[in-house]
């Protein structure tokens, strides 16, 4: 006959730790979602006027927020990846199993998780390159961004891939947070998905327009 688990039982301790790590993963994810949307809007201000973007960038530079905030965001980025990596299969056998399960059950939420996990691996590498490039070339200036893209077309291709991946990952992450933590009930999921898909399209649209604004900006 099995004995009831006490408060000090190892299994309960493991479950409690796993729950705390899930909370930390959720909170770091929310923080990154908020930062990336703010980042998109701040850089996207160049669509209204390069002077507006320069003024915002100058404020962050002169206040020291860029120098301090940049490394903090990078640390948050790495922490979120480490926390999320607990649920991502890195072995080929595990990846094949997840893929087969997704194909067999034809469940939309499972496919969303597959897309999010796959995009995370690419974003980890490309996001680190982006942050290193930006933080090593402070201060940020609209003309400097334009010159970088115009002088090397590979940077344009780089960001045309990175920006959609980031916003797809953020959108799916927002959806999964809402579902997992009970903010969206089963009856709400269809409407939430439509909202998230629309949000992804708008975010990707703003990001792509911003890139081409830099591309066509005159020196």
Q: Is 214 exposed, middle or buried (0-12, 13-18, 19+ CB in 10 A)?
A: buried
Interatomic CA distance for residues 37 and 35, integer angstroms: 6
Please indicate if the annotation marks 169 as binding a ligand. yes
- Exposure pattern of 136-162 as b/e (b: 16+ CB <10 Å)? eeeebbbeebbebbbeeeebbebbeeb
Please indicate if the annotation marks 80 as binding a ligand. yes
Tokens of 195: 């909202």
- 117 phi, psi to nearest 5 deg: -65, -45
Interatomic CA distance for residues 73 and 109, integer angstroms: 28
Q: Write the DSSP symbol of residue 45.
A: G
Q: Which amino acids are annotated as binding site, given as ranges?
A: 39, 80, 130, 169
Q: Which amino acids are annotated as binding site for heme b, given as ranges?
A: 39, 80, 130, 169
């Amino acid at each position: 006959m099995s004995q009831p688990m006490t408060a000090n039982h190892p299994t309960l301790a493991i479950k409690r730790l796993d729950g705390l790590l899930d909370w930390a993963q959720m909170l770091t994810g929310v923080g990154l979602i908020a930062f990336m949307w703010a980042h998109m809007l701040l850089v996207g201000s160049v669509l209204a006027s390069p002077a507006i973007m320069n003024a915002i960038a100058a404020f962050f530079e002169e206040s020291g927020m860029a120098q301090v905030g940049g490394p903090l965001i990078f640390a948050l980025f790495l922490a979120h990846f480490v926390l999320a990596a607990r649920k991502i299969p890195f072995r080929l056998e595990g990846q094949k199993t997840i893929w087969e399960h997704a194909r067999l059950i034809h469940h939309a939420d499972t496919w969303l998780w597959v897309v999010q996990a796959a995009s995370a691996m690419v974003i980890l590498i490309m996001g680190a390159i982006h942050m290193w490039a930006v933080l090593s070339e402070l201060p940020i200036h609209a003309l400097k961004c334009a010159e970088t893209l115009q002088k090397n077309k590979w940077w344009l291709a780089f960001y045309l891939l990175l920006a959609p991946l980031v916003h797809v990952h953020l959108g799916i992450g927002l959806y999964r947070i809402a579902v997992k933590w009970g903010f969206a009930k089963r009856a709400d999921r269809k409407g939430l998905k439509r909202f998230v898909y629309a949000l992804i399209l708008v975010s990707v649209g703003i990001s792509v327009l911003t890139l081409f604004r830099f591309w066509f900006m005159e020196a």
